[in-house]
Chain A
């Protein structure tokens, strides 16, 4: 490659891309130059002075401009007179760096000693103890003894709530400004700043509510000491007591990679999630996650979790055993002369949704062919356009990091920060840091509007109508190098939502970007597996609303009462089966309620909004005394009672079959999803002091499946006839991150932030 730069670090040669900082070049050689303020995801500031090294460059003869060589033909190096920071200096050709000389060692120990003059030695009671860069670096580079007179140590407040989620210990803070810079440069919520100066310099916030940012938890990961802690985890456990399991976030379409930190609680005798940490996946969330993903987990161990099947007897739901419940269901399904409607919530894993679909197609339909069976998903709106988003999505190797100068990001009718927070971070960086152009069309203002070079407004519900005649507003899209189109379905009727997706797909094609790797549609789906559930159910397109069933209504993980198939206006109420974690509003109306496992107690896969199929793993054992089961286990049991014997022992087995059946997934395999690649720059546990407490990617980085265009399949969609927006659509509130729901409602930590919409 032309733009590789050669240098030596402690005499070892290394070639790195132009612009690489010395500290990262050294990392390539596994030479860990200690850092505090530097963080690979933040712009360097060079303020802690921990990374000082000796830097030299080839000596040049001023007359001839030639590099000077000694008698032996070696290039003579001109060493800088002072130590310099490895974190702010980019490499240059022929550079020489020394990191292991007595001067450098001395500087490291000096800086550490300085930091320790104000830092308390309270590691034994500190939440960061065991995963603390300062602790590690002190052991490695610190002064044996301190010359400092601890009598004159300054004592500061130790429990300062910066808000209700994040606490600050002012004695522990080493003023590295990582937290401030994350908030300023990455989240763009400038709610943390330094106050005062010199030795009095402290982190403060004046925002209301305190630390007002959806991304606040990330600061605790990258804080190199125990100064910032979460309300969730502080004083709860020591990091080394925790088990960690690779997992995924279920809350939105980004598919953030997470790690569940769990521990056996002697108090309750059960395992609990003590905290959720991001897991590095440079393709998806890098090392970030939003506060909803991090803090909404208490529902997994909520006391209200369903633990036994319930059946309705004499008007009331009563506990029963699986046999009775399953037999009852099988009986009802076999019952003659009526129809079945099944609805799957979009947090249900692929394996379960697939098996549900298979049950409908192969068992209910075969056995019961004369009766209509229908499948739908919840929320139902995405099934009206998920096929379009899938066909015209981003390329298999699309990479957010490559978006920048020359590229255009068009956001239509969606609120990226509220609906896909980590995409907000990534797209914002493409625009603000790397110069991509942002155009936004929306009926209202969103945070993303701050960065737009063009803003277009239209009447609520009229996104597709506007797109049909954009009046030259989008003519320039042809000139873009790539075109990413992010869209949402706010205030849309189903047909208009589809019309919008089709219009946008047409726009990409017309502007000449179809099939490009870094171009395509990016839908703002509501949850983690909207695309997956749609794919698994093999729904007819465009989606149609379910007809009222006569006999059985069967809902799996559906939170939204409106999505339950309606009963017929006249005639008997259908027999209602509900599979759920909680006795939700819908479950309370059911005839049979079956307790299921949450994502934390089982494994499976989700397909993100950009079609990345990723695995999550069981981090918690099934609670003592609970009889909850995976949804797929239930389907298999029912199939057996209906005379069809499947023998799926694991989610993996189901995935194996599915991958041979479901078009787009052909060729994927469960093990492949679980394969990890080395993440660069390394910021996980092994590199604790470099990046923070984010977890290494142990569970796999997932695999994106190709679009129809890429696989050479012809796609053509019938145009739709747009309608005047209905009152129903117009009155539907836009999805917000903290809007009330079954899961978030059970979070003590995030509770105060829940927005009750209307």
Chain B
């Protein structure tokens, strides 16, 4: 694609600068909305565009905005830039290379729902790109695009950046709100949903960075323009973060529904090593793995559902034949164990337990009974967790077992465990775990063991 809608930095160098962005219709939608439109009209056009959330769940953005009660004040917009799903790096590029479009989209959302304050919640590790984002915000203030009485109207808007500090769960919208309120990032009970009881107990829209980056174009050019790309139910373009065993790992912006998984792989230059690609995780560690046999599926929400997987956050981790799925599953479980917030029992205990069984397998002392235990534990977690994180954790087990059961069986029968690089990995993780366990401080009070 030569004319990107989101990754415009690929077409227009330095679009991160306000002057360049402005020269390319930057903030035109913003001015149009504030000076000529009502909030409902903005919601209307976003609804008509069919824009779906890009944070994972694919919920229609305009519909979400329309849930905001009219008569409760203040209202808030929070932008989800926690981007922590393994394999995702699209929001990173957006805030770094095309920040004004994110800001403009955020502003439009705020205007649409009648909010005067927006927070962009970035994962703490994004301190560096946040400098770029903050500079863009400051420039926008200086240019009178943010702040008080915009364009001479009585509408005012402030946008702030809030940094997380290392917690995947804070990408989950209610945990994000808790974190933004200065608490530990454990998800909230739903209902009530954030649209009604959100940040500081007030109506709140939460959207992904990429979702909002679509909005300026939609408001400026209309819903029909947006629908030129994509399908009826999956309109528009979407950024695909492609990584793993491919030659050209990068973000690719593609219209939905047009290309297949294989096309995507080809675009990324195919296998890095030359070995055939074995499978792909389409939405990071949390997604159902797709074996190569299904690479004909089209890239849109419906087609992915049809092959038993998801489009999700579009973090495509390709793996070639050298990858043992038992190892890969362990890596994923390690991630979820590390990121389990601890709130609910099945996720907290289940990920720990599952990891310990995988460790046993990898170390070479596992038996076929242990594979069964993985199945049992997995089943015990499934469908019982407080939030999707725990359910995500089961995907890595459920679908590697489903599609690559042979890897598990071979693992035992061919005594694959104990490989030197795996042992180093295990020992490293154990060492870190041990060091961590002894580290619980109780200030001012001696701890007796």
Contact = CB atoms under 8 A, between A and B. Distances in A.
Nearest to A164: B445
B349 A118 contact: yes
Contacts of A113: 380
A118 B350 CA distance: 11
Contacts of B440: 156-157, 170, 195-196, 200, 202, 204
A205 B386 CA distance: 26
Contact of B352 (A163, A198, A205): A198
A83 B376 CA distance: 18
Interface in A42-73: 44-50, 52
Contact of A115 (B337, B345, B379): B345
Contacts, number: 129
Interface stretch (B84-92, B135-143, B156-164, B353-361): B353-361
Contacts of B352: 117-118, 154, 198-199
A198 B346 CA distance: 11
B444 interface: yes
A175 B348 CA distance: 10
A200 B380 CA distance: 21
Contact of A199 (B189, B348, B357, B376): B348
Interface string B323-361: 000000000000001111111111011111100110010
Counting chain A CB atoms within 10 Å of each CB, which of B337, B357, B386 scores highest? B386
B448 A197 contact: no
Interface in B379-412: 379-380, 383-386
B1 interface: no
Given A118-B349, A147-B373, A152-B356, A160 B342 contact: no
A174 B446 CA distance: 22
Interface string A188-199: 000001111111
A200 B436 CA distance: 8
A422 B437 CA distance: 38
A206 interface: yes
A110 B344 CA distance: 13
Interface string B130-167: 00000000000000000000000000000000000001
Contacts of A205: 442, 445
A110 B437 contact: no
A49 B346 contact: yes
A162 B445 CA distance: 8
A149 interface: yes
A122 B189 CA distance: 33
Interface residues of A, number: 50
Interface string A561-598: 00000000000000000000000000000000000000
Contact of B384 (A83, A156, A195, A196): A83
A198 B380 contact: no
B192 to A, nearest CB: 12
Contacts of B167: 197
A249 B447 CA distance: 34
Interface string B103-119: 00000000000000000
Contacts of B448: 157, 159-161
A82 interface: yes
Interface in B259-273: none
Nearest to B370: A149
Contacts of B342: 175, 194, 196-201
Given A114-B350, A152-B356, A157-B449, A199 B384 contact: no
Contact of B349 (A88, A117, A156, A204): A117
Nearest to B340: A198
A210 B445 contact: yes
Given A160-B442, A198-B352, A206-B443, A114 B346 contact: yes
A107 interface: yes
Given A46-B189, A88-B189, A147-B376, A204 B442 contact: yes
Given A45-B189, A110-B384, A114-B346, A198 B376 contact: no
Interface of B: 167, 184, 189, 337-346, 348-353, 356-357, 360, 373, 376-377, 379-380, 383-386, 436-437, 440-449
Task: Give 6 closest A-B pairs by Cβ, nearest first.
Answer: A201-B342, A114-B349, A110-B380, A198-B340, A152-B356, A199-B352
22 contacts: A46-B344, A47-B343, A48-B344, A49-B385, A111-B346, A114-B346, A114-B353, A154-B352, A157-B447, A158-B449, A159-B449, A160-B445, A160-B447, A162-B442, A175-B348, A194-B342, A198-B339, A198-B352, A199-B337, A199-B349, A200-B440, A202-B440
Interface of A: 44-50, 52, 82-83, 88, 107, 110-111, 113-115, 117-118, 147-149, 152, 154, 156-163, 170, 174-175, 193-202, 204-206, 208, 210
Given A114-B353, A199-B342, 11 more contacts: A46-B189, A118-B349, A157-B447, A160-B445, A162-B445, A194-B342, A198-B340, A198-B351, A205-B442, A208-B444, A210-B445
